[in-house]
Structure 1
Amino acid sequence: MSVVVRRTVGAVAGTALLCAGAVACGGGSGASGTKAASGDARAARAVTAAYQKTAKAGSAKVAMTMRTPSALGGGSVRLSGTMGWNPTVMDMTMKGSGIDTRGADLPGTMRMIMRDGAMYVDGGAAAAEKTDGKRWMKLDLAGLGAQAGGLGSMDQDPARQIAVLLDSPNLKHLGSATVDGERTEHYKGTLTVEEMMKSNDAPKVLGADERARLLKNVEKAGIKDYDTELWVNKDDLPVRMDVTMDSPQGRVQVSETFSDYGAPVRVDVPPAGQTYDLMDSFAKLGKGTLQG
């Protein structure tokens, strides 16, 4: 494999992992807010209603910004487009200083498509020149998650992150605020991994299997806690959600805004003739058989 192709593959792999991590931050599973209700029953009821309405909506237009510490490459990545959940599908564009394209000759803005557990990244004309015209790189998210130390299930949605917030023992209502021109109610809660483990005997919004899977992956990633803020409009739907996670590499911050709930999401994957599997490329690289 040539140096140029190595850099291209590496840059796109890093890009996809960043995006996959952002999606995972925006999802997860959690329990109903038994402890939260004991501290702020009004907040628990409001956030439960937001969970139910968001799960039912099924899709929305999303704008996401993720900021990472220098140990994870630093900078910020911005994504915008449409996402559906249960199962997760998306069609987004991504750009930002957190995309490492140095030496890879990749476009500054990339389109990313997710469907059926796979992500497709458009590497542009420059990538096609180096891969026999195949500009789309296909990534098996489960495989990438395993290699990255457990990013968690990629079948994520904002409703599930709201369910995580419901487990917080300090969930509280912070008052009213205007977000993107809408009047909202602002809620905040922090939940450590240990607290998540201890809350296993509480009544659940989601299944025990999903909850156990999340806890296992969070421990693998070394995440210490989630600090979540939620802004909910008069229709009980989130307008904005911020999640901050502390990890051994530093603090990761994800901010998402939502609009047009229920918007149709049509995701057509690229033709097979225009794609190549990145995991296969890595395997061939290990055997020294991939040419570039």
Structure 2
Amino acid sequence: MRKAITAALAAGVLVATAACGSDDSSSDGDAKAEKSAEGQGGGEADDAADAADAGDATTALRTAQEKSEEAGTVALTATTSIEVPGEDMSMSFELSGVTGWDPPAMDVTIDMSDFFAMLAEAMGTDPAEAPDAVQQTRLVDNVMYSGGELVEAQYGEGKWSKLDLGEVDVNDPRLGQSAEALKSSQQMSAAPFQQLALLLEGGDVEHVGSEDLDGESTEKYEGSLTAEDLQGLDDASEHISEAYVASLLAVLENMGADTFEFTVWIGEGDLPARVDQQMVLPEGDHLTSTVYEEYGVELNVEAPDEADVVDILEAAGGR
């Protein structure tokens, strides 16, 4: 049971956020889309119509990918809900704030109180006594800072923890259980274009209609990605990092699933307004819904005062 709950948490954090993407453009997805459209012909009217629809969906998502990548930053709210496989338990957590990818940076708040309440119940203790698990996370110059009650409980009131992502080895035994959290944190510079790139380069997508989303007129698209699709992605893709793909594959394996299902809403300015990512599990379900609120917002992230910062590696036994 503990393994299932831990896997659920890791999956939630990873799927709630996308990896840092390269700033370079790639035409691989366009070439694949054109090849796919050509291959769907066959001379039949229905096949030709299907190919045209697929081409329209690909064009729309490619435009959204390019425009969101150009924006550089976005304010977002991501809500993840999980039913733990094999257990009569469910939980959710929320990430909100501003993230950027040119350069990678973020200032977000993650509320995992529901998760810790569920964990307490699973361990036979009173959920009401679970800690307040609201954590602020900042990424500044490739250094990850975390603050909140859980950090203060370990290092002292007013303290922040830090990890230099350029120096740390996630397999370092001194990190203990923090290793998985670090792996997740490395994916937390959310980029909506990364999600669209996955669909464009690895999966099938179709336009399923128009929908009013919180007062905004949007076009809705659906697609899916299997583990086989992820394994077959071009290693040279300029939009999708190998680390991100490896993390998604690990999530599928840990959760006993094989497929991610995507729903994408494209709104004003041809920008993604919302992206849902769902895993179909042997038992239960896992859904992350990310609402992209505003693109191109100012993001000036500052590191905490050095006197209040504890280096996790140093605290764990020195460098």
- TM-score normalised by L of structure 2: 0.68
- For 1:20 and 1:275, the matched residues in 2 are separated by 24
Counterpart position of 2:249: 219
- In structure 2, the CA distance between the partners of 1:174 and 1:129, relative to structure 1 (3 Å rule), is closer
- For 2:283 and 2:105, the matched residues in 1 are separated by 29
Counterpart position of 1:21: 14
Letter in 1 for 2:155: T
Deviation at 1:84, TM superposition (A): 1.2
Mapped pair 1:255 → 2:286: no
Letter in 2 for 1:51: Q
- For 2:313 and 2:90, the matched residues in 1 are separated by 25
Asked if structure 2 preserves the Cα contact closer than 8 Å seen for 1:134 and 1:273, the reply is no
Stretch deviating more after TM superposition (150-159 or 173-182) = 150-159
Q: Secondary structure at the match of 2:270?
A: coil
Query: Paired residue for 1:138, among 143, 152, 162?
Result: 162
Q: Secondary structure at the match of 2:297?
A: coil
- For 1:230 and 1:240, the matched residues in 2 are separated by 6
Deviation at 1:68, TM superposition (A): 2.9
Counterpart position of 1:109: 134
- In structure 2, the CA distance between the partners of 1:122 and 1:65, relative to structure 1 (3 Å rule), is same
Deviation at 1:260, TM superposition (A): 2.1
Query: Paired residue for 2:225, among 191, 200, 203?
Result: 191
Counterpart position of 1:200: 234
Q: Secondary structure at the match of 2:221?
A: strand
Deviation at 1:214, TM superposition (A): 3.7
- For 1:82 and 1:251, the matched residues in 2 are separated by 27
Deviation per residue, 1:92-131 (Å, 9 max, x gap): 222254442769974353322222333322224x854753
Query: Paired residue for 2:71, among 57, 71, 83?
Result: 57
- For 2:276 and 2:20, the matched residues in 1 are separated by 12
Counterpart position of 2:3: none
Mind listing any 5+ residue stretches in structure 1 that lack a counterpart?
A: 1-12, 288-292
Deviation at 1:26, TM superposition (A): 6.6
- For 1:143 and 1:247, the matched residues in 2 are separated by 31
Mapped pair 1:268 → 2:293: no
Counterpart position of 2:109: 93
- In structure 2, the CA distance between the partners of 1:276 and 1:191, relative to structure 1 (3 Å rule), is same
Counterpart position of 2:180: 148
Counterpart position of 1:44: 58
- TM-score normalised by L of structure 1: 0.73
Deviation at 1:62, TM superposition (A): 0.5
Letter in 2 for 1:114: L
Stretch deviating more after TM superposition (56-65 or 210-219) = 210-219
Letter in 1 for 2:71: A
Deviation at 1:164, TM superposition (A): 0.5
Letter in 2 for 1:207: E
Letter in 1 for 2:95: L
Deviation at 1:279, TM superposition (A): 4.0
Mind listing any 5+ residue stretches in structure 2 that lack a counterpart?
A: 1-5, 38-50, 173-178
- For 1:268 and 1:44, the matched residues in 2 are separated by 38
- In structure 2, the CA distance between the partners of 1:131 and 1:177, relative to structure 1 (3 Å rule), is same
Stretch deviating more after TM superposition (88-97 or 260-269) = 88-97
Deviation per residue, 1:156-193 (Å, 9 max, x gap): 51111111011354310010001121000001110112
Asked if structure 1 preserves the Cα contact closer than 8 Å seen for 2:134 and 2:148, the reply is no
Larger Rg: 2
- In structure 2, the CA distance between the partners of 1:212 and 1:78, relative to structure 1 (3 Å rule), is closer
Asked if structure 1 preserves the Cα contact closer than 8 Å seen for 2:199 and 2:224, the reply is yes
- For 1:49 and 1:70, the matched residues in 2 are separated by 36
